[in-house]
Chains A and B, each alone.
Chain A
Amino acid sequence: MQWVDAVVQGVLLGGLYAQYAIGMALMFGVMRIVNIAHGDFIILLGLIGISIATAWGLGSAGLILLLVPLGALIGWLLQHSVLNKVIGTDPIPSLIATFGLSIALQNFMLQIWSADTRSLSGGTLSVASVSLGPIHAGVLPVIVLACAVLLTGGLDLVLRYTAFGRGLRASAADHNAATLSGVNTKEVYALATAIAVGILGMAAVFQAMRTTIAPPDGGAQLIYAFEAVIIGGMGSIWGAFTGSMILGVAQVVGFRIDPGWGILLGHIVFLIVLAARPQGLMSRG
């Protein structure tokens, strides 16, 4: 029974990872842009959220409403001021540029918030739980998972059926041809990055409520998001979601075996998928 429970908890943890991963699937898989600072934005938004909550006593819902637009604005600015300068050529400059940004951001956060770990109090939400037979699940993780499902489904529909989604896919497939079809590719990319970082506004609040955050944690979040995207299969939003579930389950199961093995088992599953099915589990290729 404890293994069934581990899988349930893993899927719930995967809900959090999915919120990091779908934004990365959008940038990484669709636009082929690498943003090394992806994880640092989660931490930055989380720390801003904690400071605001402390200063103004804002609740978690209010924080999400505030941080999502803030994240979107950061993403839009990032694309326009940095990433749009290096798209179209090889992906190396965007990787190096965002790597530099990541180092700067981490140390900026250290400067402002020090290296302490912090968290957001979720009030009664943090302790409430639901039971289904012998399986207990926290209400908060269930909400996180539900939000992840909605975000994934919503983003997938947007990509498939909206003018923005078609414009984005067209720009990623052939930049010049998209321009010749009337697509303002730079603006479409900026909107996509705004969505990717905007989602992190929600992820940040949930992360801070579920566990703790500290300035140097961004690298780990980046790696989890990346592993989820590769496990699921590049370019597929639902793939990233599935990858997140698998990663979450691997980590929780590993943790139950030996606390030192939790994160490591996640990495090992990623490497096994890379060896056995490098195109990802959800990819048709």
Chain B
Amino acid sequence: MSGVIKGLGTFLSNYWGVIAILVLWEAWVNISGLNAIVLPSPVSVFLDLASAPGLYATNAAQTFIVALLGLILGLAGGILLALVAWASRLLNGLLTPLGLIFSCVPVVALIPIIARLLGYDMRTEIAIVAIAAFFPTFVFVGAGLRALPPGSDDLFKVFGASRIQRFLRLVLPAAVPNLMIALRLTAPEAILAAILAELLMGTSGLGFMFREASGRFAMERAFGTSIIATITAVICFGLVMAAERRVAARWQ
């Protein structure tokens, strides 16, 4: 019995904020007397989700694939350029400040320009996500390649490791934790950028679904899309966290 009470206490202490929001929402709907066209009830949103599971699933899958492909391309590009900058002092001096500046630019604001440059296309969506992931990866991996554990470089030299060996066995592994930080920072942004690109260009995916639904005031569909978008983002973030834990366990 006391166990149950204790469990309830922990639950309340963890979730009082979430519960409060839900109660406030419910109360606000009831008191202000908004009708269902303006604010759909949770039940009608779930009914809409259940009525077209295939539509939701294909669009969510498309957004997820765009985000994933863009993320992979952006990470690969960022790592590659970081390696190039590591190998050449001149390029490092030229590129690092630019990379720092671009990693602070709100990339989302660049979507309209990229869309106009590359055309309304799924490849454009992937490119936008890739650009969003590229600059933080470049900055973080670049810093990681230079932040070797103290003394380790001397140790490798003393034992007569060649430049290639030093690179493969010391420098590259040293950058992996920073790569994971970049991944954790860019993964949520990747989903956001994918949805926004779809929304602006109106091609396909969750962003398009959302735009289409709010255009014809189908609020159940708009809220349903929001729920699916949140689930997609949470799955994406969960995958990244799991990958980060794996890497941390292997690298510490």
A and B: real partners? no
The interface of chain A, by Cβ under 8 A from chain B, is: none
